[in-house]
Amino acid sequence: MCNFVAKKTELYRLVLLNDAEPYIFEFMARRKKQNYPLIEALEITTLAAEGKAMGRYNEKVVFVPMTVPGDVVDVQIRNCRRRFMEGVVVNYVKRSPLREEPFCPHFGVCGGCKWQNLPYSEQLRFKTEQVFDQLSRIGKVELPEIKPCLGSKKTQFYRNKLEFTFADKRWLTYEEIAAGGDIERQPALGFHIPNCFDKVLDIDVCYLQAEPSNSIRAAIKAFCIEQGYSFHNCREHQGLMRNIIIRTASTGEVMVIVVFNEDAREAITSVMEMLKERFPQITSLFYVVNTKWNDSVGDLEHICYAGKDHIVEQMEGLQFKVGPKSFYQTNSEQAYELYKVAREFADLKGDEVLYDLYTGTGTIANFCARRAKKVVGVEYVPEAIEDAKINSSINGIGNTSFYAGDMKDVLSDKFVEQNGKPDVIILDPPRAGVDERVIEVILRAAPERIVYVSCNPATQARDLALMDSMYKVVAVQPVDMFPHTHHVENVVKLIRR
């Protein structure tokens, strides 16, 4: 529940001012009847999955957000289950010596960067422990010693892509409401409040993406207010301004995509011209008209208003074309470290056939191509495959082949027969992991080595268990792509038994 507070009268005011739904009142009524306890002096002992912190009360786990190990807190329980409880802090009895002062003014409200109050060394330590716990508990496979999580050199301004949402009314914080008085409800351009798809926190400054990101966001918001352009209301599906996506490359190139809710030609031109004139550093300027109820734009036409139809990323002398629909790791500098680990685990000698499954725009495939005889890449998104082919071409790489389609449909015994039996396979699937049918084909192809890159160690562990009969895990390297969050990338090397 958003901004839950112990005193129900104050929550009612918060609900009313933020136009929350009536079910919240029903929620509060149920909580009153259930009479959930206030736990005093609960010691927070460790971090848990999904970035939660936890303590124990009467042998039951209690999850408490925004706390760190060593905190002693009074906790108002808001959810009670058979094996665990969830609550919120109403008082700090003692603050942990581990605590650090968050650097972002939006910490605790926007829902991102939840570990800003924890030293970076502690974040890395827990991410290493998290990988071990999930691989051993879920996968139940024999593991070597797991290497310490590889930290990111940048812990601020490290992202190369952010998406901001327009809303006709900004979210009011509890502190604003508690201060009393008249509160002006201005429109917002920022991030969704956690678990509230229709509520948006207006962002003053975001420490995730370097300039000109903050300046562009502030300028387009001010311009649209000045021009009287309406901001989107997702419940009523009204309002012109919908989203803005900003991509910044390591080469200094900048892509901006503005999403409009209707094809209002005069207003679109006005916004585009303002961005073009005020920010000459934008090298790729797009707009999208999205009249659907949902925010997905991958299936819609991206119209290039000015500049190139792509930006260029650079890695170890290689250039990678990134279009408006392309996937590219969102931490460019740390992506280089991740791919070096994957290439090292692949242990290529120059005469191997390498399959790069879930290849995206062919970044790993092209990154490894000069150390392999042949590279075969497969990816679901056709536009990404076209970029992968272009990336091979512009880098003078001639030993790659790329195929578009659903992995479980493309990768088959016949496909392996036609493209050559792989000596090494690199997997970099989405969070859901690898489909079991794909694993069956991989096991029949029987490569000497498999390198599994994952953004979700839990599903990775599940997949390792399915491969355990034929493959042994010999190396594990966690990599931190997202400082101040619980997310961790993990690379596993397997060799055939």
The residues assigned a catalytic role are 455
Helix axes 457-467, 120-134, angle to 10 degrees: 30
Where on the phi/psi map is residue 335: left (φ > 0), alpha (ψ -120 to 50), or beta?
alpha
| Cis amide linkage into residue 212, ω under 30° from 0 | yes
Nearest-angstrom CA–CA distance, 451 and 473: 10
Amino acid at 480: D
Q: Is the dihedral of CA 314, 318, 319, 321 positive or negative?
A: negative
- What DSSP designation does 293 have? S
**DSSP secondary-structure letter at 111?**
-
CA distance 75 to 66: 12
Residue 41 to residue 57: CA distance in whole angstroms: 10
| Torsions phi, psi for 322 (to 5 deg) | -120, 110
d(CA 55, CA 85): 10
Rounded distance between C-alpha atoms, residue 157 and residue 400, angstroms: 34
In the 8-state DSSP scheme, what is residue 150? B
What is the CA angle 462-356-134, rounded to 5? 20
d(CA 349, CA 371) in angstroms, rounded, equals: 6
Instruction: Give the start-end residues of each E strand in 358-481.
Output: 374-379, 400-404, 424-427, 449-454, 471-479
User: CB-based burial of residue 363 (10 Å sphere; 0-12 exposed, 13-18 middle, 19+ buried)?
Assistant: buried
Count of residues for the chain? 497
Whether 38 and 6 have beta carbons less than 8 Å apart is answered as yes
Count of CA atoms in the C-beta half-sphere (13 A) of 420: 17
Inter-residue contact 8 to 32 (CB < 8 Å): yes
Listed residue (325, 23, 47) closest to 195, CA to CA:
23
CA nearest to 407, candidates 389, 381, 431: 381
SS3 197: coil
